[in-house]
A and B are shown apart, each in its own frame.
Chain A
């Protein structure tokens, strides 16, 4: 059970990171917005509790980084939920109705696959000012394609099974069949693919924040911290390296977790 160990380790790291991000700012004597011009660019030290040092305005980077992780995780969860709802509904309908509707719906998904979505999101951000809600919806709206494909494939197979046939004979409406009989059988694979869309959502959010199109100062996110770190890297490398490492670590853990879950799920559905 090597996969099992991988899942436990990466899941454990993520839980530790999430708890630290939630509790850390509360324990630290500093807050995320107070500037301190006596102590700009202080290196990380235990003495004055600037665990990750300070930035060019003397703000505590530990608290700011934890805040950034919170934002990243929040965006990831909400955006994944948006993509889950769209993807599952779309895929289940296409797979269940089948025939020409299915072909047309999937052709549409293929078309969307060809588009450079990130540029549309940037366009959206530029056009409508930065808006927290819009970020969530925009990121969720670009990540549902994979989910729709997977769910459609599964639904195609489930549709022919005896229990669906039985439900139909008993006079269940198509909507009832989709939600009561097919959807519960999709839960496993959907969870696996949500785990894989979470890092994508984090990546898009941090990319937008990096470009200065994400959350607004004095709020922050990992992408915004990396962007500020790039400016300071020659005099204060910690300002870049710490948030960059944490972002990479979180993304890597989610990728490993999703991969591990998928392998285990595949192994189970094969046996």
Chain B
């Protein structure tokens, strides 16, 4: 197990480096400097600015400086927000995004797996059809459509829930953003669980368990749930990626000053260091999560370790 874990960790490092290099190159290959947005500067001023941000150095040197800063948690100064470092901005906004994202994923796992299991147990019933229909609908409606429609319905028309974030305190302001982010994930996890549960319920060991006289609830809980969970587990990485993507929209619509909103603002201000820093943070998060899933896989299903 230790060997397996170490191998996985070693395998993640080149991926991370690749991501950093790719993002860095993309930003630096961009035509026009980060300050070309502003009014035209006299040449000697521009030179001074470039010198200040060390943009006059050759690219490999800049890259090495960037990576060595990165290792120490330094993402450089923001071009857009004067007097702020990118890491300060991320540290300020990340916890808020994390809380909402984690709530959404938890909700999606609970509801999605429950709905998928029920649908698998009652395969072909109206309940199954309802779950599958809901799932297909949830998968097809983009987050940026769900969010405004929910706001229109529950905040603007019915006044049940707040539309904004900053004017509110307490739990009610979490409801709409979390549901919006969770909805497509509930839909997908329900499908995944249903398919793998149907598969597992048809296996011999489940038949044996039934033959021993165990009730459906016990069979599912003790025997079927663990193997049926594996596909859901490996979906966690993509799920987090999807929630991060969704958070870009959700934070903008609900006015939550999280990392997603920071990303959009940075992108429209051409704040290259900020955008680069956030992309790297996202990628690190997703790679780390995939790593954890891989290791968990090795624990839950020992066969994986020897492949």
> A residues bordering B, Cβ < 8 Å?
111, 113-116, 118-120, 122-129, 199, 203, 206-207, 210-213, 223, 226-227, 229-230, 233-234, 237, 240-241, 244, 247-248, 251-252, 255-256, 259
Contact = CB atoms under 8 A, between A and B. Distances in A.
Contacts of B144: 206-207, 210, 223, 226-227, 230
B141 A240 contact: no
Interface in B117-176: 136-137, 139-142, 144-145, 148-149, 151-152, 156
7 pairs of A and B residues whose beta carbons are closest in the complex:
A127-B30, A252-B140, A251-B140, A244-B145, A230-B148, A248-B141, A126-B267
A234 B156 CA distance: 7
Contact of B279 (A111, A123, A211): A123
Interface in B222-278: 237-238, 241, 244-245, 248-249, 253, 263-264, 267-268, 270, 272, 275-276, 278
Contacts of A212: 268
Contacts of A115: 15, 19, 283, 286
B27 A206 contact: no
19 contacts: A113-B238, A116-B241, A119-B245, A119-B283, A122-B267, A122-B275, A126-B30, A126-B270, A128-B31, A203-B142, A206-B142, A211-B267, A223-B144, A230-B144, A233-B152, A240-B149, A248-B142, A255-B136, A259-B136
Contacts of A248: 137, 140-142, 145
Residue of A199, A226, A233, A244 most packed against chain B (CB within 10 A) = A244
B258 to A, nearest CB: 15
A211 to B, nearest CB: 6
Interface in B1-33: 14-15, 18-19, 22-23, 26-27, 29-31
Given A203-B142, A223-B144, A211 B248 contact: yes
B22 A120 contact: yes
A193 B239 CA distance: 21
Contacts of B287: 114
A247 B245 CA distance: 18
Interface size class of B (residues with CB under 8 A): 35 or more
Contacts of B156: 233-234
B30 A116 contact: no
A127 B29 contact: yes
Interface of B: 14-15, 18-19, 22-23, 26-27, 29-31, 136-137, 139-142, 144-145, 148-149, 151-152, 156, 237-238, 241, 244-245, 248-249, 253, 263-264, 267-268, 270, 272, 275-276, 278-279, 282-283, 286-287, 290
B267 to A, nearest CB: 5
A244 B150 CA distance: 12
A199 B140 contact: yes
B148 A240 contact: yes
Given A126-B267, A127-B27, A210 B249 contact: yes
For the complex, would chain B's binding face be called helix, strand, loop or mixed by DSSP majority?
A: helix
Contacts of B275: 122-123, 126
B142 A111 contact: no
A222 to B, nearest CB: 9
Nearest to A127: B30
A111 B18 CA distance: 10
B81 to A, nearest CB: 16
Contacts of B237: 113-114
Nearest to A249: B140
B80 to A, nearest CB: 12
B15 A226 contact: no
Given A114-B237, A119-B279, A123-B275, A251 B141 contact: yes
B148 A116 contact: no
Contacts of B136: 252, 255-256, 259
A256 B133 CA distance: 10
B142 A118 contact: no
Nearest to A199: B140
B15 A111 contact: yes
A213 B263 CA distance: 13
A192 B136 CA distance: 17
A116 B267 contact: no
Contacts of B263: 119, 122
Contacts of A240: 148-149, 152
Contacts of A259: 136
B38 to A, nearest CB: 16
